[in-house]
Amino acid sequence: MRTNTDFSPLYRSFIGFDHLAGLLDKASRADKQSSYPPYNIELLADDQYRITMAVAGFAEEELEIQSEHNNLVITGTKSGSSDKTERKFLHQGIADRNFERKFQLGDHVKVIGAFMENGLLHVDLQREIPEALKPRKIAINGKSLLNDKTN
């Protein structure tokens, strides 16, 4: 059962957040993303994050990380096995399949690096708020500068 939520009452108080309804709708969509490979998202500092993904069995050359606009896509593509003999597993618990994992990044969140360690892929992110968007103090001068152009 899918219900559409009406966000119009929020528009009275939140100016410029029109895209918020779209983001919430996108997040609630029934697109079932595979749970493979498992991952963690950590908060390292106020504006620093790390995505850690378990990619056992993948070489660095088989992984691709792309960041475009506010999307981060991590893709793993297994290359053809150089061993031509068919392997016979009694139990196969380590997945040996391709994957694509997508993450929606917040505004001004940038990928600053990635590294592999012990079968884990670590992607470091940082929020860099431009100077123009940071809070600033406004001085109260006592008279309007707009009406004071005649002087």
CATH number at residue 57: 2.60.40.790
Asked if the structure places residue 14 within a domain, the reply is: no
Report the share of the chain in percent with pLDDT over 90.
31
Give CA–CA dist 140/63, Å, rounded. 55
Point out which residues pair with 114 in neighbouring strands: 123
Measured between alpha carbons, how far is residue 26 from residues 4, 39, 61, 83, 90 in Å? Answer: 12, 21, 31, 42, 41
Q: In this predicted model, what pLDDT tens digit does every residue of 80-116 receive, in sequence order?
A: 665 556 778 888 888 778 999 998 888 888 999 999 9
Asked if the structure places residue 85 within a domain, the reply is: no
Query: Tell me, what's the pLDDT at 16?
Result: 58
Asked if the structure places residue 114 within a domain, the reply is: yes
Asked if the structure places residue 139 within a domain, the reply is: no
Range of the domain at 44: 35-79+96-133
- pLDDT classification of 12: cutoffs 50, 70, 90: low
Return mean pLDDT, the chain.
79
